[in-house]
Amino acid sequence: MADKKTRLLKQTNYEIFIVILTFLSWLNLVFYFYSKDPNVQQIIFFVEQIMTPIFLLDVFVRARFAESSKIYFFRQFGWLDLIGSFPYTRILRAYRVFRTIRSLRANGTHHLLRNFLSNRAETAALTVILAVILLFEFASISILRAENADPLANIQTSGDAIWWTLVTVATVGYGDLYPVTEQGRFVASFVIVAGVGLFGILSGFLASNFLGQKQKPDDDINDSGTRLPDQANLERIMAEIKQIRQEQQKANKSINTRLNRIEQGVDQNKQPD
């Protein structure tokens, strides 16, 4: 379990996920003070609260599986990550963001693509989480803006918009709240299609991950029923074969040298006195 956690922290897709989530929080902070609508501000604050447990979990995992929690908190400025996990203080995560971006640039594009391809399951899961958060915020604000202008609409407050978005994205659709304007129905159509697509991707990811783990013990067995060696054993076997070939070449060289000496001795004995 610990190996999985530390491997996840070293993956590029996870670092990019945290960076994008941090940038989204910074944009929300600007949008919060720019907007004069209290309902929109409440939606933004609600989304910020959703992201808070993710940032706190990130700090906990980094501290738990670091070589030293004290080094992480003090020398690597983990205390800034902790304080910056809460709404309206995430500007303190700037050090982590800039450090991650510099590391990604140093690794190059080839490393990014290779990491994405080798960790497709984790990339899909993190992408779905990020897409759900973005869709939730976009849908809540959009449906509120579209329906708030109609006095006959039943989606008038931030609570109505959040509840409608939740049941629509989750493809539940209680029907107690529904859009009545053309703009609202357009937003609803987009949210329904996006929600079905996201949950389809998530279901496919879970099924693939479950089946992959279930079939993993049999992946190393060939058609004859013999278990194939893993990567470490293959490297060890190849090293042994290489060493045997070198020893064989030395032995052949020694044999050839002795044969040449014998032939020279025979030729000398055949020469007349």
Q: What is the pLDDT of residues 129-188, one digit of tens each?
A: 899 999 999 999 999 998 888 888 888 889 999 999 988 888 776 677 888 888 989 998
pLDDT for 263 equals 66
Task: Tell me if residue 157 falls in helix, strand or coil.
Answer: coil
Q: Any idea what the Cα angle at residue 228 is, between residues 225 and 231, rounded to 5°? A: 165
Q: Which of 123, 130, 151 is nearest to 51 (CA)?
A: 130
- Give the helix ranges, DSSP H, for the chain: 2-10, 12-34, 38-64, 69-70, 78-83, 94-107, 109-118, 120-148, 158-169, 182-215, 231-270
Report d(CA 187, CA 136) in Å as an integer.
Answer: 12
- pLDDT mean across residues, the chain: 78
Q: Packing angle between helix 12-34 and helix 38-64, nearest 10 degrees?
A: 150
Instruction: Compute the distance between CA of residue 243 and CA of residue 236 in angstroms, rounded to an integer.
Output: 11
**211 versus 124: which is more confidently predicted?**
124
pLDDT digits over 74-94, tens only? Answer: 887 788 888 888 888 888 888
What is the amino acid identity at position 106?
A
Q: Helices 182-215 and 120-148: crossing angle, nearest 10°?
A: 160
Confidence of residue 245 (pLDDT cuts 50, 70, 90): confident
Task: Give CATH for domain 120-247.
Answer: 1.10.287.70
Residue 2: predicted pLDDT: 46
Residue 75's pLDDT is what?
80
> 222 is written with which tokens?
């060939």
Q: Band the pLDDT of 6: cuts 50, 70, 90.
A: very low
- Full-model pTM: 0.68
DSSP state of 154: S
Q: How many angstroms separate the CA atoms of 38 and 51, rounded?
A: 20
More confident residue, 170 or 45: 45
Structure tokens, 51: 């992201």
The dihedral of CA 65, 19, 197, 195: what is its sign? positive
* Cβ pair 39, 163 in contact under 8 A: no
Q: Please name every residue paired with 159 in a beta bridge, in sequence order, or none if there are none.
A: none
For the cut 70, the answer to whether the pLDDT of residue 48 exceeds it is yes
Return all residues near 165 (Cβ < 8 A) that are at least 6 apart: 136, 139, 140, 143, 191
The neighbour count for residue 34, using CB atoms within 10 Å, is 9
pLDDT at 110: 66
What integer pLDDT is reported at residue 108 of this predicted model? 66
Nearest to 13 by CA among 115, 114, 86, 101: 115
